[in-house]
Structure 1
Amino acid sequence: MPEKSWFFALKEKDLTDNSIEFVRVKDTPIILFRKNGNIYSLYGKCSHMGCRLSKGAFIDEHTLKCGCHGWEYDTRTGKHPGDKDATLETYQNKVEGGEILVMV
């Protein structure tokens, strides 16, 4: 397995609170979002039918609902309630020099 490394994902100024941004980092679809000042990074496509999760909506503080078919995910862990096989990968991120970097 290739070694993971930090890669540019998005300018920090382009990620506002409660927005969801879809990016590709090393050909990996990822969503970035900010909640209460914290930045989160998740695999960017729903495990159900591959819809972009950036078209989804937050239904509470830590739950993202897919805009296509309503599948829900815990934004902290990527877990889908009731289906452990539908868990989305989460990614470490950090901000350096006004840029959001993601570990891929």
Structure 2
Amino acid sequence: MPEKSWFFAIKADDLKEGSMEFARVKGTPVLLIRKNDTVYSLFGKCKHMGCRLSKGTFSEEYVLKCPCHGWEYDIRSGKYLGDKDEELSVFENKVEDGEILVLL
């Protein structure tokens, strides 16, 4: 298995509080969300039919809702709230020199 590395996702200033942004990081679709001064990074497509999650919404309860069929995920863990066996990959991230980097 190849060693993980840090890769640029987006500029930190481009991710405002309460917003989300889609980025393709080394070919991987990544959804970045800033909530309560924390950056969350998840696989950017729904497990159901591959819809782009950046077109969805997220709530005060840390719930991300897919725009296509309403599947809901916890942005902190990636867990699908309808079936505990499904989840989105969650990626470690860090802010460095004004950039958000994702560990892939």
Normalised by the length of structure 2, the TM-score is: 0.96
In structure 1, the partner of 2:94 is 94
Q: Does 1:32 find its partner at 2:46?
A: no
Paired residue type of 1:6: W
In structure 2, the partner of 1:71 is 71
Paired residue secondary structure (2:13) = helix
Paired residue type of 2:47: S
Indicate if the aligned counterparts of 1:48 and 1:86 stay in contact, CA closer than 8 A. no
Give structure 1 regions of 4+ aligned residues with deviation exceeding 2 angstroms. Answer: none
User: Take 1:43 and 1:84, find their aligned partners in 2: how far apart are those partners?
Assistant: 17
Computed over aligned residues only, the root mean square deviation of the Cα atoms, in angstroms, reads 0.9
Paired residue secondary structure (2:85) = helix
Normalised by the length of structure 1, the TM-score is: 0.96
Q: Unaligned regions of 5+ residues in structure 2, if any?
A: none
Q: Unaligned regions of 5+ residues in structure 1, if any?
A: none
Identity of aligned residues (%): 65
Paired residue type of 1:74: D
Report Cα offsets for 1:40-98 as digits up to 9, x if no partner. Answer: 00000000000000001013331000011100000000001231332000000000000
Indicate if the aligned counterparts of 2:32 and 2:40 stay in contact, CA closer than 8 A. yes
